[in-house]
Amino acid sequence: MSPGLSVFLENLRAAPRRAYEATFRSGPPTSDRTRSTFVFGNVFLHLHPVRTHRWSLRWSTTMGLGIITFAAFLITLVTGVLLMFYYKPYPDVAYDSIKDIHFVVPTGRFMRNIHRWAANVMVIAVLLHMARAFYTAAYRKPREFNWLIGMALLVVTLGLSFTGYLLPWDQLAYWAITIGANIAQSPREVTDALQITDRFDPGGLQKLLLLGSDQVGEEALIRFFLLHVMVLPLALVLLAAVHFWRIRKDGGLVRPANADERLGPAPLETYPVFTEAPHKTYQLAAIVKGKTAAVGRGPEGTVPSMPHLFYAEAGVAMLTVLVCLGLALFLDAPLKELANPGVPENPAKAPWYFLGLQELVAFSAFMGGIGIPGIVLLGLGLIPFLDREEAGTGEWFGGPGGLPLVLRSIVVGLGSAVLVDGIAIRYGWLREWFPKIPQLVVTLVNPGTVLTFIYAAYSIYLVKKYGSTRAGALGLFTCFLCGFALLTLVGSYFRGPNWSFYWSPADWPVH
Amino acid sequence: MTTAPEHGSPETPASALRSRLDPEPVPRRDFLGLAALWASASTVLFATLGIARLPKAAVLSSPSRKFKVTLPEALPAGEAFVPPGRSVALFKEAGEVWAVSTVCTHLGCIVKSSATGFDCPCHGSGFAKDGSVTRGPAPTALKWVKVSAAGGDVIVDEGESVPLGTKVSV
Ligand code: HEM
Ligand code: FES
């Protein structure tokens, strides 16, 4: 055989093995070295640090909530692509295509259910995740920027949910688009009252941009479809990549200053620390500022990310999949009647996570739909820049006041929400008391703004009492969570036809 | 062709006498670099502004929302008649007709006529028969829309609002 040919044959024989080696370049992750190259040799994994602090792996540190959020997102991504095989974003056929998916397409109903419940899991998880980042004071220096990225992720997540349930073009969808577009137009509540709408009409512009037309129709559906399947998922992927990368650059997850002492020596069964002498010199450490996961402390507190972190993440992700599949097996995603522009449902309710908002817009469209959410976002964004303290970083409910303060704030938050909403339900509000009252007063002074004001006042009182911004933030955040929860509850269970108050749906008038 | 003046020759201005190692007053490279940077930045800015014009529709499809309707013979005074598929309530009283839009001024749901006027199913706004707000979050009264008599029928234009209280005799 000619030498050329034999080399060729030899290469051919070795091709599968070499392809395998080219793909899995670092070999099995069994030593310190290969465990490290396993992480930083892979573009996705290297968003993680090579070694992870043991504090970060404690279940009570994160409760896995960020990973649950992201896993739920990945599930919606996969099932969403599958749904797109059949979904048609045109008003005439959208509803039928969803029905096809639900009743005809093989596994279609299952996929649709998974998609819907994973989206719900994502909303719950992202809210809880934000709460955990807040209560462990994880937003403090140097994590301010990541807190802001997180807020953007929260907005995108809610945006994905909203644009998603519009797509079936059923009654829920149609009236949600109508209400959403009119909330976008609600700055007119103010410009009308000031009689400047002719010259300055941001509300009208927003509605026009959202609907692509002056009424709800095919232009609107295409826009929401575009946002739902393209713009928002892309934004979420990009933001999430930055979010994860920042965690690593900010020195891993937040932990108390004395985490190492509190953890004690590593248990024997954890993979030991640096069995081989390091082959790499850390020149980079001389030019980058700030900390990486292992700088400043010995590596004793850390363990290799492979397997400790990755197995934990995979476990949480599998649990998320399990929950979503379980829900999808037993509960069908809702689908109402075909959109009917002439008759809204009575009551016309948004999905549960927007019912708090619906309760607020039932006091004032502008303040409830734009003003108060804007104030809340602004407040959330300011937290890391106003609270520059250090006490309690990385501790649950850390900071002056601690858990007792949070418990008291729950009482204040729930109590004042019950009181204010109760007054509005029992006795009506300004318009019922003074029928001639100008609209601008109703817009500015309504149960929603009064509640916001009470919470803000309480928070300022806490700042003074404890001499600490963190105490004020703890109170304010807790109050807002409670207000959100209570309004959501009222909107879900206690509102019936014509948005009137009923103690139970059993009391709803029947026709 | 001009040749660069000899370094230090009598006709060179004093400023050119700097050593090549001295920093230039406005470093040329920096100047060119900054100019290029600003040029690209403004290009991107204007391109973005141009792109942003796209989603704002220049022409809106606004089909005529005018229709003709026969009021029922026996429509009692003060009772609303809502033609099927339309969002307008017609009233007839003492030889006059008028039309109140049933689109809620709060967030656009369709109100239902009731004994006292109109109720909105979405956030509980209430309106009197003439459309004025009696409770709830609606910021303004329901619109009145244009009606005109056409023989025994009336022509309603949902797309055109008229001042509150405009009635037409038939
Ligand atoms: C789609 C939405 C989001 C995803 C997928 C996500 C994912 C993650 C993940 C995986 C982590 C690692 C720790 C953990 O699992 O808890 C994390 C940390 C963090 N997240 Fe998020 N997140 C999201 C939204 C948010 C929001 C809404 C906020 C707050 C406004 C936020 C603020 C933070 C902060 C400050 C950290 C660092 C925590 C620490 O150092 O202990 N994230 N995020
Ligand atoms: S749309 Fe009528 S009360 Fe909100």
Q: What is the CATH number of the domain that holds B76?
A: 2.102.10.10
Residue B2 is predicted with a pLDDT of 47
Ligand 1 atom closest to the CA of A132, numbered from 1: 16
Return the DSSP state at B67.
E
Torsions phi, psi for A325 (to 5 deg) = -60, -45
How many A/B residue pairs have CB atoms within 8 Å? 96
Query: Range(s) for CATH 1.20.810.10 in chain A?
Result: 60-260+306-345
Bond preceding residue A142 cis, omega within 30 of 0: yes
Cβ within 8 Å, pair A345-B110: no
Chain A residues near residue B135 by CB distance under 8 angstroms: 428, 431-432
Q: Does residue B117 fall inside a structural domain?
A: yes
Of A28-32, A176-180, B88-92, which gets the smallest average pLDDT?
A: A28-32
**Residue with CA at minimum distance from ligand 1 atom 1:** A153
Q: Is residue B136 within 6 Å of ligand 2 at its C-beta?
A: yes
Residue A292: how many CB atoms within 10 A of its CB?
Answer: 18
pLDDT in tens, A445-471: 999 999 999 999 999 999 999 999 999
Torsions phi, psi for A448 (to 5 deg) = -65, -50
- ipTM at complex level: 0.79
Please report, rounded to a whole number, the percentage of residues in chain A having pLDDT higher than 70: 93
CA-to-CA dists, residue A191 to A195, A434, B61, B135, angstroms:
6, 22, 26, 21
Residue A277 is predicted with a pLDDT of 47
Average the pLDDT over A230-242 and give the result: 97
In terms of C-beta density within 10 A (0-12 exposed, 13-18 middle, 19 or more buried), how is residue A161 classed? buried
Q: In which domain, by residue range, is B104 found?
A: 66-169
Q: Are the beta carbons of B139 and B105 closer than 8 angstroms?
A: yes
Residue A90 is predicted with a pLDDT of 94
With a cut of 60, say whether residue A288 has pLDDT above it. Answer: no
Q: Are the beta carbons of B93 and B165 closer than 8 angstroms?
A: no
Measure in Å the smallest separation between the Cα of B113 and chain A Cα atoms: 12
Q: Are the beta carbons of A243 and A237 closer than 8 angstroms?
A: no
**E strands, B3-143, in order:** 66-69, 88-93, 96-101, 112-113, 117-119, 126-128, 133-135
With a cut of 60, say whether residue A157 has pLDDT above it. Answer: yes
Start-end of H helices in A371-446: 372-386, 402-427, 430-433, 439-444
Q: Are the beta carbons of B169 and B77 closer than 8 angstroms?
A: no
Q: Does residue B128 fall inside a structural domain?
A: yes
* Token pair 């919606």 in the structure block, residue: A76
Average the pLDDT over A274-299 and give the result: 51
pLDDT in tens, A465-492: 999 999 999 999 999 999 999 999 999 8
pLDDT in tens, B130-168: 999 988 889 889 999 999 988 878 899 988 889 888 888
Class of domain A60-260+306-345: mainly alpha
Cβ within 8 Å, pair B137-A347: no
Cβ within 8 Å, pair B109-A192: no
**Residue with CA at minimum distance from ligand 2 atom 3:** B123
Question: Across the interface, which of B108, B121, B136 has its CB nearest the CB of A182?
Answer: B108
pLDDT in tens, B30-84: 888 899 999 999 999 999 999 988 988 888 877 788 888 888 888 888 888 898 8
Query: Both ends of chain B: CA-CA distance in Å?
Result: 94
Chain B residues near residue A205 by CB distance under 8 angstroms: 56
Name the domain count of chain B. 1
Q: Is residue B125 within 6 Å of ligand 2 at its C-beta?
A: yes
Residue B16 is predicted with a pLDDT of 59
Q: Which helix (H) or strand (E) holds A472?
A: helix A469-493
Strand, helix or coil for residue B95: coil
Question: Across the interface, which of B57, B85, B137 has its CB nearest the CB of A212?
Answer: B57
